[in-house]
Structures are given as C-alpha cells and as structure tokens.
Amino acid sequence: MNTLKSKIDELKIVSHPARIAILDELSKGVKCVSDFQEFLGISQPNISQHLSALRMAGIIDFFVDGRLRCYFLKNPFVLDLLEILKKEYTSELPGPECCPVTKKGTYHGERRR
C-alpha cells in the first residue's frame, strides 16, 4: 500500500532511536544482526525484536546466508525520511503575518500569545 494511512503506520513504527539507527545503517548497505550489535548499545534479542517489527511492517527484509540473516532496506519512503532527519533546519517557520483569518474568526481582540 502507498496510502497516507499506511505511511503514518510506518512512521509510527520507525519513530524510535534504535530503529532509526538500524535503518540508517541499512541505507548504506546490507547488514546482519551481529553487525548491529557493534554500534547499537542494546541486547541481541532486542535487536531481533526491532528487526522483526520493521519486517512485519514491510520496511525491511532479509536474505539468509548460512547462519546469518542479511537484512536490507525495502521501503523507499524510509530513505526520504532518513534524508530529512539529517537535514539542518536553522529557523522556525514565519508565524502568520497579520490577524488570523479563520472561519469563525469574527473577534477583533488583540493578537496575543
């Protein structure tokens, strides 16, 4: 699926520091579970749990190589997401310039915070 809803579901699953770290590594190439152990500071079962969740969500998949499982990134949306996660944002968006205009906006009070 490529719907907004499915992307939001993926976002939710991905919104976790360890999972982002896993996906960022996978964006550079294939990795097996013990590769992740080296730089994620979490237990092997926990890594497997994260990998399993990401796979259930259709975000990653793996090939079997002997007793290794070689994981790779499957979902292109995640690549774009990783990119904006690394982007620098230097300033906030400009607030509304003049008095807010909303449907029910018939009040003319001071514009305060």
Where do contacts with DNA occur on this chain (CB under 7 A)?
Answer: 12, 15-16, 18, 32-34, 37, 42-53, 62, 64, 66-69, 104, 106-107, 109
Measure Cα distances from 55 to 41, 48, 71, 74, 112 in Å. Answer: 21, 10, 9, 9, 48
Identity of the residue numbered 12 = K
Does 87 engage in binding with a second copy (CB under 8 A)? yes
Residues 42, 36: Cα–Cα separation, whole Å: 9
How does strand 68-73 pair with strand 60-65?
Answer: antiparallel
* Residue linked to tokens 């907004």: 4
Residue 42 C-beta: closest distance to a second copy, Å: 15
The one of DNA, a second copy, none whose footprint includes residue 73, by CB under 5 to 8 A per kind, is: a second copy
Measure Cα distances from 3 to 10, 11, 35, 92, 102 in Å. Answer: 11, 12, 33, 29, 29
Residues 105, 1: Cα–Cα separation, whole Å: 39
With CB under 8 A as the contact rule, the residue among 39, 46, 52, 99 that binds a second copy is 99
Residue 106 C-beta: closest distance to a second copy, Å: 8
Nearer to DNA, 89 or 107 (CB): 107
With CB under 8 A as the contact rule, the residue among 44, 46, 52, 80 that binds a second copy is 80
Instruction: Provide the binding-site residues for a second copy, judged by CB under 8 A.
Output: 2, 4-5, 7-8, 11-12, 14-17, 20, 29-32, 34-35, 38, 61-68, 70, 72-77, 79-81, 84-93, 95-96, 99-113
